[in-house]
Amino acid sequence: MGSRPLIWINEPTKVFVARSGIHELTTTILTDDQVRDLVEKMLKSSGRRVDLSSPFVDAMLPDGSRLHVAIPDVTQRHWSVNVRKFVVKASHLDDLVGLGTLTPAVARFLDAAVASGLNILVSGGTQAGKTTLLNCLAAAIPAQERVVTCEEVFELKIALPDWVALQCRQPNLEGTGEIKLRRLVKEALRMRPSRIVVGEVRQEECLDLLIALNSGLPGMCSVHANSAREAVTKMCTLPLLAGENVGHGFVVPTVAGCLDLVVHVATERSGRRAVREVLAIPGRVEGDVVEAADVFVTRAGRLVRADGWPPHVDRFERAGFDLRALLAADEGLG
């Protein structure tokens, strides 16, 4: 999976680095002025800024690294700087098999699910590899489709000829001109996409994505969660942030009808990223709970076939896949 060496500065004399999930304090000693100069140089190409009126900034650097900065008085005394350097080790699902992230059986199933137009949610914790997995899933989108991606900052790299990438924008010095993720999702629907991919849903934009998926537009996105089932619960909660007129009575059945699969990825103690479970959403609601079925689960450290089946068998058939044959294999991760 993609490797993200981390570098962060808590204060000028405390510069940390992390590789493969293990972090250590470096011997680098900086001054406050050097930290500020470093941040200004990094932000120069991004067109973004950080100052007292906007004490946070999230930006993509020219080499693909992700930069986040927070400054006083949001921080206590010093500038806080975080850089995630993205080194691509995987761009297709087969690459993840080689890295031990998932099994060949799961890769074949997910490849077919994407090609068949199922709506897929990727869940996981911070640094679990959600963006890399989303990229690899997107690589299975048929080449003739038009894809529009929406992100806070550009991270997704879709290897398709007809791809439009959108990112959010900070407010200007007058406090105007901000473009939030929710606006991007709405605008993406006006761009005649065959499929929409949202980097990560965190707030009320989840409602607009669900409405888009409910209209028959296939899509994918990621969300922070500790398990696949928790991710489904979160997708039922985030739309409520859109306003008091949005209630569970609308959101829960919409989630059940929109989501098809949840793929949960996690970081193990060794630092390896691994798919832990694949959950199917059959489209039914019991009370206020979205029903779910395990398609693949981790048992004794191995990702194995469970007894659940994904929805929309007809879509697999129309795309030329034998779903029963795809799920017949039971290969595990050692």
The residue assigned the tokens 């590789």 is: 19
Structure tokens at 102: 């998932």
pLDDT confidence of residue 212: 93
pLDDT confidence of residue 334: 41
pTM of the model: 0.86
* Sign of torsion over alpha carbons 221, 139, 262, 125: negative
CA 325/CA 96 separation, integer angstroms:
21
pLDDT confidence of residue 329: 60
Structure tokens at 131: 């963006």
Q: How many residues does the chain have?
A: 334
pLDDT in tens, the chain (334 residues): 545 578 999 999 999 998 766 788 999 999 999 999 999 999 988 888 898 888 999 988 888 788 999 999 899 999 999 998 876 678 899 999 999 999 999 999 999 999 999 999 999 998 899 999 999 999 999 999 999 999 998 989 998 999 999 999 988 877 788 999 999 999 999 999 999 999 999 999 999 999 999 989 999 999 999 999 999 999 999 999 998 899 989 999 999 999 999 999 998 887 789 999 999 999 999 988 999 999 999 999 899 999 999 999 999 999 999 999 999 865 444 4
pLDDT confidence of residue 20: 66
Distances (CA, A) of 198 to 131, 209, 268, 323, 329: 10, 8, 26, 27, 31
DSSP string across 107-172: HHHHHHHHHTT--EEEEE-TTSSHHHHHHHHHTTS-TTS-EEEEESS-------SSEEEEE-B---
pLDDT confidence of residue 333: 43
pLDDT confidence of residue 65: 86
pLDDT confidence of residue 88: 62
DSSP string across 42-66: HHHTTT---BTTB-EEEEE-TTS-E
CA 265/CA 146 separation, integer angstroms:
27
Of 86, 104, 87, residue with least CA distance to 95 = 104
